[in-house]
Chain A
Amino acid sequence: MKTKSIIDRIGWPRLIIGLFFFLLIIVSPIMGLNLTDVFSDVLRRWAMFGILVLAMVPGVQSGIGLNFGISLGIVAGLIGGTTAIEINYRRGGEYQPWADLGLALLIAIPIAIILGYVYGLLLNRVKGSEMTVSTYVGFSAIALSNIVWLVLPFGSGTLVWPIAGEGMRNTISLEQSFGGIMSNPSVTAQQPFPLNLLAFEVGGVVVPIGTILFVLFVCFLMWLFLRSKWGIAMSAAGENELFTRSNAINVDKMRILGTVISTVLGAVGIIIYAQVFGFLQLYNAPLMMSFACVAAILIGGASTRRAGISNVIIGTLLFQGILTTSLPVIKQLMPQGSTLSEVIRIIISNGIILYALSKTRGGTQVES
């Protein structure tokens, strides 16, 4: 009886995936993989995706469902990142990682707010099929951004193609900018105290503590917000529209609020992602990123109608953990080439989304 209730609380999917994750960790040293590398990778990927996955929470809570259109926020973040590099270049190109990071956020957030607002207006017109629409909004946003990357009049050598001299590159290195300043020990080591403590290595495991703390801090802010008057009203709007309206709350406004916060978190999320990764990836690179975020939060136990901070933290750990540990293990088992790892990633992430969506009920009410 007791074990049953514990299993019910954790949920079968999480239990199975958790055990699978655990199994992979045990198997990997047997397969000849370095366990410290595995742990470093899991931590790194968790820190990279944390905020992007968190961006799902306000969307779900406000009733727009899983925000597949997070690409919109990602584009805003990428515009912020590239513009910050260009500004730095025009001002002489000194190594000022913190100023770059701050500037990137400063530019990205207002863009995200505007895009999120317009996107929210759109979602209010397609009530009931938000997730389908948002998927295509996500794809369109990436397609449109492809044009933007080609036409922005930037001149920085790190941004544009070296031969053509115009149009931005696919992958932009952040080595000369904010890459790794909260996650890479070799970068932070050059920073003055206490900034040099933002990442360290212990027993061969790299701990990007700065990024982890930052992600947790943003999670904490979100946690606080969900306990505020506005947050409670927003969550109610997502749970029961009539109830909310009968309490004098404008449901459409709350949905827009959720969409805007989600988009802003997407922008912040991609900048933090790039900071850890060390590169800004433009063009079609972020095309399928929303799917990874959706899968992560669903693994974490969220539904299309309810999601919380714990879903983000656990889900990101399990999803990214499985990806990072399973791929090397599979590679060892099947040495057919590196493309297989991508195939497995797609199978896992889409499989999880499919599973989770099949679990949600068609109606508008959450029964518990």
Chain B
Amino acid sequence: MSEQAVLSMKGISKEYFGNKVLKDVDLLVKPGEIHALVGENGAGKSTLMNVLFGMPVIHSTGGFEGEVKIAGEKVEIMNPHDAMNYGIGMVHQEFMLIPDFTITENIKVGREIGTPTIFSKILGPALDVLDRKKMRDDANKALKRIGLNIEEYVKVAGLPIGYKQFVEIAREIDKTGIKLLVFDEPTAVLTESEAERLCQIMQRIAQQGIAIIFITHRLDEVMAIADRLTILRDGELVDQVSTDEVTVVDIAGRMVGRKMERVVDIKEVRQLSSDEAGLELKNFSVDMPGEQVKSMNVAIKKGEIFGFGGLAGQGKLGIINGIMGLYPVEGDVEIHGKKLNFSKLGDALENDIAFVSEDRRGVGLLLGESIEDNIAFSAMQVRNKFTRGAGPFRLANKKQIREHALKMIDIFDIRSTGPRQNTGSLSGGNQQKVCLARALTLDPKVLIVAEPTRGIDIGAKKLVLEYLIKINAEEGMTIIIISSELVELRSICDRIAIVSEGKVAEILPPDASDVAFGLAMSGLSAEDVDQEVEG
């Protein structure tokens, strides 16, 4: 193509402490195009953008390999300020606006237009008088460019979320010489109509010759407005194509893909003998910031291994934290037909549900206490296990605790200097094993495990997952796994619910196609796509 690329990134590789997160990735963006960047969590989208903006996290960890060219010129972007000077702007997912400033002030903050005065001549431009009229005009011009009809003197504080996003865009547009705008999941917090509006605005901006990189997981939006797209998976470039050449189904399939590394052998899809109810969520909502669950309905069978998957921030983690009682909930949870009483702290524990939190260090462990005390804690507090005496002097039975801890250390192969070692000084995998041991010490009927293998080594991963399969088979324990690792869910679950925007998008068998999983993660079901094809 004769047209010169506004941005060309070639052979970008990046390691964090020996862990390759980007492998030889190319990205080419032409002027005036909307270029979508898609991929699962951890596919390398944010790292690539961090490289582009010269974020400190890149340079403080040894920089990156490869070259970045802007308008055909090789550049070295060492910090976000450099990026701005090269005409690259970012519209953030969380708004970076000052609520008590007017729209004009927010658009112009840091780049105010001043008229020199006698004081500023002596003491520097910081003492210029603001040329409010000029600033207003500029702000109005920027607002007009994105087609927003709103008075520029309104304070940002009272604006609806959608408008805040637009003000943020106007601020970037107002920067002179802007060539490329990056939108990071801009539609995530918007309502449907706002999102539609945003897409229109993006198209309008693109028509003015400004290139756009659009990071999103909503594939329907990609299809609607993007000209071309780049798919990343596991830090590798999968494809860079024009949207005319592909369908949503293609993209979904390529985005998920089958990874080679397998932790546990995929088991046969089994039929559960009984249809008895295990755990049921009915119109279940959880108000957990960043992981909201919105009136979800799922029925999990007794003795089943059930998985919740989906992208980060879609609400799958809200499920466990809601049932645990850490965040306010609405709706019902029934275990074996019995409703949980959420006004009573710890009712889930009383009803034989045990948890392994995704936040090991924050929720899962007492880091300053020993392995044995951690393992015994829940059972002691909830079931009065390992104690003797009564009332304030119901004392811990150290001998029983020690015996039990030694048993658990043996079963889970917890590598430590002994049961007295503090959990804070254990490795991630061993900490996870302690968390699991603590939950199992409660002898639960239902075990809910969140991110069981996050940040732990292969050996520990295998052990943890195999143990979950084992107790499910031997004791008929219902196991619910919430995980971002689709491979992991597909290798051990009987059924997998993909959570999108706080709801179950689809419940799939583990041997469903990659495409089905990919679509569900983007919040689309197979039927939606069919309709689209037909329509």
Contacts and interface: CB of A to CB of B under 8 A. Distances in A.
A250 B349 CA distance: 14
A227 B396 CA distance: 6
Contacts of B345: 245, 248-250
A265 to B, nearest CB: 14
Contacts of A225: 392-393
Interface stretch (A123-131, A228-236, A315-323): A228-236
Interface in A237-269: 239-240, 242-243, 245-250
Q: Contact residue range for chain A? A: 20 to 34
11 contacts: A224-B395, A228-B394, A229-B394, A232-B396, A240-B362, A243-B362, A245-B326, A248-B345, A250-B345, A366-B368, A368-B425
B367 A230 contact: no
Contacts of B384: 229
Interface of A: 224-225, 227-233, 236, 239-240, 242-243, 245-250, 306, 365-368
Nearest to B425: A368
Interface string B358-387: 010111111111000100011011101001
A242 B326 contact: yes
Contact of B392 (A228, A306, A365, A367): A228
Interface residues of B, number: 38
B498 to A, nearest CB: 26
A362 to B, nearest CB: 16
Contact of B368 (A246, A247, A368): A368
Contacts of A239: 366-369
Nearest to A246: B324
Contacts, number: 92
Ranked nearest first, the 6 interchain pairs of A and B with the lowest CB-CB distance are A248-B346, A229-B394, A242-B363, A368-B424, A366-B368, A248-B349
Contact of B377 (A228, A247, A306, A367): A247
Contact of B367 (A227, A231, A233, A368): A368
Contacts of A233: 381
B96 to A, nearest CB: 25
A322 B389 CA distance: 41
Nearest to B324: A246
Nearest to A303: B368
Most buried by B among A225, A243, A250: A243
A148 B373 CA distance: 46
A166 B420 CA distance: 60
A246 B350 CA distance: 12
B325 interface: yes
B382 A248 contact: yes
A271 to B, nearest CB: 22
Given A246-B325, A365-B367, A228 B355 contact: no
Nearest to A305: B368
A250 B357 CA distance: 18
B41 interface: no
A248 B381 CA distance: 8
A255 B388 CA distance: 24
Given A227-B396, A242-B362, 6 more contacts: A229-B380, A229-B394, A236-B377, A365-B362, A367-B367, A368-B367
Most buried by B among A230, A236, A248: A248
A248 B350 contact: yes
A365 B354 CA distance: 24
Given A225-B392, A247-B382, A248-B349, A232 B368 contact: no
Interface in B330-359: 345-347, 349-350, 355, 357, 359
B404 to A, nearest CB: 15
Contacts of A231: 392
Contact of B365 (A227, A232, A243, A250): A243
Most buried by B among A240, A246, A367: A246
Nearest to B344: A248
B422 interface: yes
Contacts of A245: 325-326, 345
A243 B366 contact: yes
A243 B369 CA distance: 12
B363 A230 contact: no
A228 B395 contact: yes
Most buried by A among B366, B373, B384, B398: B366
Nearest to A233: B381
Contacts of B326: 242, 245-246
A229 to B, nearest CB: 4
Given A228-B392, A229-B381, A246 B367 contact: no
